[in-house]
Amino acid sequence: MIAALDIGGTKIAAGLVDRTGRVVAAAQCPTRSEQGFDDGTQRIVRLIRDLQQRTGKRIEGIGIGCTGPVDPRSGTIGNAELLRGWWGAPLAERLAHEFDVSAAMENDADAVALSESIWGSGRNAQCLVCVAIGTGIGAGVVCNGDLYRGADGGHPEIGHMVLEFGAGPKCYCGLTGCWESLASGPALEAWYADGAESVSAAEICRRARAGESRAVRAVERLGRYVGLGLVNVVTMYCPDVVLLSGGVMRDAGLFLDDIRRMVHELATQVPTNRLRIDVADLAGEAGLQGAAAVWLHRFAPKETRF
């Protein structure tokens, strides 16, 4: 069994996952990073020990998917806005020591991409890009079985590439016209509300299906910008599979065909004849499977993963 930890700003999910990606037991607790790292690790250790006791299983390693920037080489948490109080904390090392097994940590978007590449609908991809579009836009790139990393293990933040310089409200990243500011859930909500009271992205999609003209236009605009961002993703990474996930993608049926057409029409300088753009399986266990995949990717030889 692999002990899997999916660490978000609000809650920590823990699970035991076998090598086929099956989650055999799971539990969770609040994150409360502001209470400090010692408090957090104590709760995490307890979660895992409880799972072990409940199932009677031994663990061979610990995989962690964590929100925000992380240093995958050292297994330490970066300065994630949502994890104040844990900045610089050597979580992987601490847990490895506590359980006397190997441990690895990655950004949660990378974790999900690894999971999709090992067990999911990206498992036959040569080059897989998993894009999560919800409150923000994040992605992981897996080529030939390995995670794309830049210098110092750097994780691309493709939600903040510029698409239409000068368009839309200024993003916290400093740009005006980055992908996240144009195609995230909040971007959809802000455009629809236009200063009036805000309505949820899901409700806007419901109204669009009912034919309300402003909602239809809002969803068309969202689809156009999701598609335009994917044009750049395809042009810059040359994937054969793109998997979309995140809250906004629950209503992908409204614009998925438009997105596919747009990518084929506008990403003309790289091969797209074998490109597949799909919505990822949105089952609730993606986070834990991702965390387990992090450990497998780091410590298990490729031929033993499946």
Shortest CB 22 distance to a second copy, Å: 29
56 versus 150: smaller Cβ distance to a second copy: 150
3-state secondary structure of 64: strand
3-state secondary structure of 172: coil
Residues engaged in binding a second copy (CB under 8 A): 125-127, 143-144, 148-152, 154-167, 173-175, 177, 228, 231-232, 235-241, 265-271, 274-275
1 versus 182: smaller Cβ distance to a second copy: 182
2 versus 262: smaller Cβ distance to a second copy: 262
159 versus 223: smaller Cβ distance to a second copy: 159
**Residue 52 class from Cβ within 10 Å (0-12 exposed, 13-18 middle, 19+ buried)?**
middle
What does the DSSP 8-state code read for residue 246? Answer: S
Shortest CB 135 distance to a second copy, Å: 15
Contact in structure between 73 and 58 (CB atoms under 8 Å): no
62 versus 118: smaller Cβ distance to a second copy: 118
164 versus 212: smaller Cβ distance to a second copy: 164
Shortest CB 46 distance to a second copy, Å: 34
Residues 6+ away with beta carbon under 8 Å from 238:
127, 270, 271
3-state secondary structure of 271: coil
Contact in structure between 63 and 103 (CB atoms under 8 Å): yes
Shortest CB 47 distance to a second copy, Å: 30
99 versus 255: smaller Cβ distance to a second copy: 255
Shortest CB 72 distance to a second copy, Å: 12
Shortest CB 37 distance to a second copy, Å: 22
Shortest CB 88 distance to a second copy, Å: 14
40 versus 72: smaller Cβ distance to a second copy: 72
115 phi/psi in degrees, rounded to 5: -60, -45
Please name the amino acid found at residue 185.
G
What is the rounded CA–CA span in Å between residue 242 and residue 261?
A: 14
Contact in structure between 43 and 13 (CB atoms under 8 Å): no
Residues 6+ away with beta carbon under 8 Å from 55:
1, 16, 24, 25
What is the rounded CA–CA span in Å between residue 148 and residue 128?
A: 10
Rg (CA), the chain: 20
Shortest CB 235 distance to a second copy, Å: 5
Per-residue tokens: 259? 């997105």
